[in-house]
Chain A
């Protein structure tokens, strides 16, 4: 319900917005992953947008598409109640290392655990994060289960009973 915010974002960022859309009152802008910290801190500080609350931080794996990953930030303005969704495109790497994006823990403290969860499930590294390790799964777990190329029925048990005893 906030075409105003969408217009404001276009006015502030101009060509840095890769694409944008509005669907049933859900306004979304898509930006480059390298831009994300700058975009979010600007939206937070901007006197007209006043998007000062980070509602959620998650990610999507668009397997087979380039760029492969999208990190999704849901912002809300406590002053006006308006919302804006910001998506950051994160390409996969060729050399088998984890893709990376800048952390926003310095802007919102609550991003800490949400970024850890995204790292846990999708293997996206947040550079500058104070304590980036698995939060839901165990340290012994290999791979990232919410990636589309993780085998659906693969189990990594910590303990199993010997059925002969």
Chain B
């Protein structure tokens, strides 16, 4: 199946499989890694969400976990890792440093990993509680299921452009899905 966008129920089934088998690439650079380990431990147990399997090769991963501060000198490495990942792929900024640069406001720190690569879910906190991370992971799973991931949307746009279609108006459906999220 070459296309990454499916309009049928098959697409829903594939995205369901994707969201429960996220292979993470842990890009762990700083102290947030401690809390990240707690996330994997028996108490919080990220395995319950099917995301426990770390892949230390970006080619086998579909979720990039950016855990910790990104410095300007490190930014090209992060971009390269992200570019090496196969599509569809998602990225999560774990902690306030990866999200915005945090309290580092200086010459050496990148003000947020989204300056380098597109981010799907931002998890604030210094460091975030494991519960927050699980919440962020569930938000990402919702995004994957609803085809709202950054790369998913781009692949969809490319598919429409390649086949000469116009995008259907999904604003009503998106508003409905937002309502569902608030209830959750």
Q: Which residues of A contact B (CB under 8 A)?
A: 137-138, 145, 150, 152-161
Among the listed A150, A153, A157, A161, which residue makes an inter-chain contact with B72, where contact means beta carbons less than 8 Å apart?
A157
**Given A159-B79, A161-B114, A161-B116; A138-B73 close (CB under 8 Å):** yes
Evaluate contact between A157 and B107: CB separation under 8 angstroms: no
Q: Which B residues are in CB contact (< 8 Å) with A152?
A: 105-106
Q: How far is the CA of A150 from the CA of B73 in the complex (A)?
A: 18
Q: Is B110 an interface residue (CB 8 A)?
A: yes
Q: Which A residues are in CB contact (< 8 Å) with B79?
A: 159, 161
Evaluate contact between A161 and B115: CB separation under 8 angstroms: yes
Q: How far is the CA of A152 from the CA of B104 in the complex (A)?
A: 11
Q: Is B60 an interface residue (CB 8 A)?
A: no
Among the listed B114, B115, B117, B118, which residue makes an inter-chain contact with A157, where contact means beta carbons less than 8 Å apart?
B115
Evaluate contact between B118 and A161: CB separation under 8 angstroms: yes
Evaluate contact between B111 and A158: CB separation under 8 angstroms: no
Q: How far is the CA of A153 from the CA of B111 in the complex (A)?
A: 11
Q: Which A residues are in CB contact (< 8 Å) with B41?
A: none
Evaluate contact between A160 and B116: CB separation under 8 angstroms: yes
Evaluate contact between B107 and A154: CB separation under 8 angstroms: yes
Evaluate contact between B115 and A153: CB separation under 8 angstroms: no
Q: How far is the CA of A145 from the CA of B106 in the complex (A)?
A: 9
Q: How far is the CA of A159 from the CA of B105 in the complex (A)?
A: 18
Q: Considering the complex, give the chain A residue whose CB is closest to the CB of B113.
A: A161
**Given A137-B73, A156-B72, A158-B76; A145-B107 close (CB under 8 Å):** yes
Q: How far is the CB of A136 from chain B (nearest CB, A)?
A: 8
Evaluate contact between A153 and B105: CB separation under 8 angstroms: yes
Q: How far is the CA of A161 from the CA of B111 in the complex (A)?
A: 12
Evaluate contact between B76 and A159: CB separation under 8 angstroms: yes
Q: Which A residues are in CB contact (< 8 Å) with B115?
A: 157, 160-161
